[in-house]
Structure 1
Amino acid sequence: MTDVWRGNGIGAVGVKARVEQQLGRASHSPLGVWFRDIDRVLLLLALILIAVGLVAVAAASPASAERYSDSTRQVPAMYYFWRQLGWVGMSIPVLLGVSMLPVNVARRMALLGSLAFLLCLAAVPLVGVDANGARRWIGYGFAQFQPSEFLKPCFIVTTAWILSFRAQDEKLPVMPITAALTGLIVFLLMLQPDFGQTIVFGSVWLILLLVAGISPRMMGALGALGIGGVVSAYMFYGTARARIDSFLFGDAAAGAADTYQTDMAHAVLTAGGITGRGPGAGTVKFRLPEAHTDYIYAVVGEEFGLIACAIITLLFMAIIVRVMVKLLEEDDAFRVLAAAGLVSQFGVQAMINMAVNTGLAPSKGMTLPFISYGGSSMIALSLGMGLLLAFTRRNPYLARTSYGTGWSG
């Protein structure tokens, strides 16, 4: 009977043969080509982060459920975990599907996405939904989404595409064009208000300019302009002033919000010590606002320890280093800029969230990529990671030709 099964390809040998046929070096099927070209290490790191995120949301869900329960509505303890599991189920196909796209198709999709989500962002002040004192969402009920989350990866690819023309003609006005686009987005974000996303967009734009090779003098001028922007925001933008005063002076600042969130995040983060109190054993987390989103890093610290927080940090660093090392061998200006921008957005957002959780930065309402709860965040990050995987795909068995011409046997 075993021989019959093997002969029909039903046994382990047959399954292995079929897998090798579909994914082996000689396979010309779309799945085989994708599996051969994709950066499997980068894909694995992303999937590990998503899995870690599910565990973290499961740990934070009871605290958030209790906080949002009242006499009229009792939220189940694992409510946010089950919802996040659903978002992950929707996001992974997005990640894998986008990673299979040819570079030119992925670029066109991002360009169209930039236009669509920029229009949505412009509509937020008019028809957006208020939440926690800010208007950042659009839509109704289950269909609500945050346009700025989806705009980030599309904006990065669009900016990379514009800046890549500088490699062909340095006289093209690519910097003013991208500056105008970034300025428009920053203006729309400040209307919401969303100071955290403003910092992400501005930081990634500066990084892309640096990768594109602008002069040190121009970079210094832009740095001074950025400092001037922060000072102006402090002087004329009430939300930014309140958060900066709260962070620097606490209750001593007249009119500033208190530091309860950042103080409590630090208390939760350190409550578990090096090894943590154990899954489900955290107690301080129940006093933490937004435990499942903005401050999930602190919840990980209480239940799984500072070692777990360090491992998460190393995972983010591994993704950044992996991409940057691969780009050292890349000749296509667009691919270099797009991949560098996408991984920079990933790293900047993680760094801001961790800085807030550890008390090194004022609260900004920034999620931790792939770890925090959220549908818009999870799907948009999967879109960005899919684009990153698409732009870093390369066939290891073929040799590079001259600039911009792809691969040659």
Structure 2
Amino acid sequence: MADDIKTKKPQKTEQEKKELINKAKKKGIKVERPKPTKPKEEKNKPKPKEEKKKTGRIYCDYTMLFMIIFLLVFGVIMIYSASSYTAGIKFKDSAYFVKNQIKYTLFGFVIFVVMMFIPYKKWVKRAYIWYGGSIFLSAVVLAIGKSVNGSRRWIVVGPVRFQPSEFVKVTLILFITYYLVKYKDELYSSDRKVTEHRLWWLFLWVIIPVVLVLVANLSTSIIIFLIALGMSFIGTSNKRLFTAGTLAFAAILASAKPLVKLLYSWGFRNYRLMRLLVWAEPEKFSRDGGYQVVQGLYAVGSGGVFGKGLGQGMQKFFIPEAQNDMIFSIIVEEFGLIGVLMILAVFAFIIRRMLIIAFSVKDLEGRYIVIGVVIHLSLQVILNIAVVTGVMPNTGVSLPFISYGGSSIVVLLAEIGLVYSVARTIKME
């Protein structure tokens, strides 16, 4: 041990090292400074892995989309079953209505994709533009619209024919969403006068399209008003006006039949009054429009529990325009109570999935949009069934995704696109 200490060279100080380097430079000798070496522990120490940023997957409800496609396909099948005989006689093509429905559906899916991938906030931001456009088109249809079956509802531009009243539904959902979010502080104010003032202004904005649509389309005007009523009920803390409005609406419905009969006894005769009389006493006024209602009731009654089978129904040969608003009666006749319950279960499933989306979104705009679509879809299903079963007057309400009609299919798929646009903002862990 002592020998080792003697033979070990003493360490040079920093000053001595510098002097040696300077001497070497003067003699022209290159001196390489040793690179600092990291301690063995640091050299061998593995670098910590960078934590990946956790990004949640975007929510997409494939099950609901499958159910909607199922209804669309089922609708095409039922349209063929209900209209093939009439189309063959009238247009020399038994698949005439089916071909048109497929075209409308494909175009509707294009609109669905566009609405889904464009952020819904952009649509809401320009809601007043869409609202103004729908008002303009609703006014134009009264001036130059095409009249079909006594109602002036369509604008025809070359081969394209559409109903502005259907366009009003989706634009009003966007506009009310914009309004409720913009004035949310006033609508939830503790001062009742402030809240009611803002609600009366909303009522004014809603009543303009309702009145314009009412002139030619009673059913759509009712749906538009009820969509606005439902959305605004959710968007405010003041429920007093809504309670009064609901009671007034119930009173009107309860007194409608006696009032209509009284007006008829006084000598009033017009198209709308006759439709209400048909609702009040369909058998008595079967020649004035009650024929369709009566034949629809026969179809409903003859379906039984299991139905007659696809294509085996007979009332479709007697119901005018069976592929349109009365298609539910053909479904009941051919598939019976079991088939109808299955279709209603599909609608209930779709509505439930939409409500899950609505309450999973933190953003108020997204929530109001989805709730508006839910109200619209629910109303159309309920009113269509009510019309077919004679509970409500025949006002031309289509069964969503199933009844024949281009404007209705395109608008419904546009609304579903909005729902999926909202759903895309939900992040899954």
- Shorter chain as normaliser: what TM range? 0.7 to 0.9
SS at match of 2:428: coil
In structure 1, the partner of 2:234 is: 211
Cα-to-partner distance string for 1:257-308 (whole Å, 9 max, x where unaligned) = 3521111112123333322322322222111111111111111222233322
What whole-Å deviation, never above 9, does each CA across 1:157-209 have from its counterpart, x for those lacking one?
A: 111210123433334754223211221112111222x1101110111111112
Moved over 6 A (4+): 228-233
How many angstroms does 1:379 deviate by?
0.9
Q: Secondary structure at the match of 1:331?
A: coil
Partner residue of 2:334? Answer: 303
Please point out which of 150, 153, 157 is paired with 1:133.
Answer: 150
> In the TM superposition, what are the counterparts of 1:24-63 in structure 2 within 5 Å?
36-63=58-85
Shift, 1:375, TM fit: 1.2
Does structure 1 conserve the Cα–Cα contact (< 8 Å) formed by 2:361 and 2:425?
A: no
**1:225–1:358 distance in 2 versus 1, CA, 3 Å:** closer
CA offset digits 1:51-71 (Å, max 9, x no partner): 2211211211214425x62xx
Are residue 244 (structure 1) and residue 296 (structure 2) matched? no
2:314 corresponds to which residue? 283
The answer to whether the 8 Å contact 1:127/1:138 transfers is: yes
Residue 214 of structure 1: CA displacement? 4.0
Q: CA deviation at 1:310?
A: 1.5
Residue identity matched to 2:403: S
Counterpart of 1:336 in structure 2 is: 367
Residues 227/141 of structure 1: CA separation in 2 closer, same or farther (3 Å cut): farther
1:103 aligns with 2:115: no
Secondary structure in 2 aligned to 1:149? helix
The more displaced of 242-251 and 340-349 is 242-251
Residues 335-354 of structure 1 mapped to structure 2, 5 A cutoff: 335-354=366-385
- Residue 191 (1) aligns with residue 199 (2): no
Say whether residues 1:144 and 2:161 are aligned partners.
Answer: yes
CA offsets 1:60-94 (integer angstroms, 9 cap, x no match): 1214425x62xxxx431111111111111211121
Work out which of the residue numbers 164, 168, 172 in structure 2 matches 1:155.
172
Contact 1:274–1:307 (8 Å) recurs in 2: yes
Number of aligned residues: 361
Deviates more, 1:196-205 or 1:94-103: 94-103
Find the aligned partners of 1:237 and 1:317 in 2 and give their Cα distance. Answer: 40
Amino acid at match of 1:149: E
Q: CA deviation at 1:140?
A: 3.5
Query: Which secondary structure state, in structure 2, belongs to the residue aligned with residue 138 of structure 1?
Result: strand
Letter in 2 for 1:298: S
Give a deviation string over 1:370-394, Cα, whole Å, max 9, x none: 1011111111111111112212333
Larger deviation: 121-130 or 240-249? 240-249
Structure 1's unaligned 5+ residue stretches are 1-25, 399-409
| Inter-CA distance 307–176: structure 2 relative to 1 (3 Å threshold) | same
> Matched residues in 2 for 1:284 and 1:226: separation?
34
Are the equivalent residues in 2 in contact too, given 1:64–1:291 (CA < 8 A)? no
Q: Which residues of 2 match residues 70-81 of structure 1 at below 5 A? A: 74-81=91-98
The one-letter amino acid of 2:200's match is P
> Equivalents in 2 of 1:386, 1:264: separation in Å?
37
Which of the residues 338, 351, 356 maps onto 1:325?
Answer: 356
Q: TM-score, normalising length from structure 1?
A: 0.80
Q: What is the RMSD computed on CA atoms of the aligned residues?
A: 2.8
Check conservation: 2:299, 2:315, Cα contact below 8 A: yes
The alpha-carbon deviation at position 112 of structure 1 amounts to 2.9
Give me the whole-angstrom Cα distance separating, in 1, the residues matched to 2:183 and 2:63: 31
User: In the TM superposition, what is the alpha-carbon distance from 1:256 to its structure 2 partner?
Assistant: 9.3
Match of 1:359 in 2: 390
What amino acid is aligned across from residue 152 of structure 1 in structure 2? K
Contact 2:282–2:293 (Cα < 8 Å) also in 1: no
Residue 118 to residue 300, structure 1, CA distance change in 2 (3 Å): same
Q: Partners of 1:27 and 1:330 in 2: how far apart?
A: 20
Equivalent residue runs for 1:367-378 within 5 Å:
367-378=398-409
Conservation of the 8 A alpha-carbon contact between 1:323 and 1:339: yes
Percent same amino acid among aligned pairs? Answer: 25
SS in structure 1 of the partner of residue 325 of structure 2? coil
CA distance, structure 2, for counterparts of residue 78 and residue 283 of structure 1: 19
* Residue from 132, 137, 148 that aligns with 1:115: 132
Deviation at 1:141, TM superposition (A): 4.5
Letter in 2 for 1:94: I
Question: Is the 1:343–1:388 Cα contact (8 Å) retained in structure 2?
Answer: no
Distance 2:269 2:133 in 1: 28
Aligned to 2:166, the other structure's residue is in SS state helix
Of the structure 1 ranges 306-315 and 163-172, higher mean CA displacement relative to structure 2 is found in 163-172
* CA offset digits 1:333-360 (Å, max 9, x no partner): 2222221111110110111111112222
Partners in 2 of 1:270 and 1:327 — Cα distance? Answer: 38
Q: TM-score, normalised by structure 2?
A: 0.76
**Could you tell me which amino acid in structure 1 is paired with residue 413 of structure 2?**
S
> How far apart in 2 are the matches of 1:293 and 1:180?
33
1:5-47, CA deviations, whole angstroms, 9 ceiling, x for partnerless residues?
Answer: xxxxxxxxxxxxxxxxxxxxx999xxxx9x8333323322222
